[in-house]
Amino acid sequence: MTRGNQRELARAKNAKKNPEKGKKGDDGLSAAARKLRDAEIMQQKQKKAGGGGKEETEAKSK
């Protein structure tokens, strides 16, 4: 069991060394708010890439 303990000690030591790194964690948003934010970001990316999203595909199919 020495290796298991050694691994945990190394992780703790590294976490102390780099406190700003790690999981991004919670950004203070609820799940619904995060979905809306992410949807807006994706729509902007699609417009920027020239994809346009649903509107363009519906117009093409008519």
What is d(CA 33, CA 59) in angstroms, rounded to the nearest whole number? 30
Decide: pTM greater than 0.75.
Answer: no
pLDDT of residue 46: 94
- Highest-confidence range of 5-9, 49-53, 58-62, by mean pLDDT? 5-9
- Give the C-alpha separation, 6 to 53, whole Å: 51
Q: Tell me, what's the pLDDT at 61?
A: 63
Nearest-angstrom CA–CA distance, 14 and 45: 36
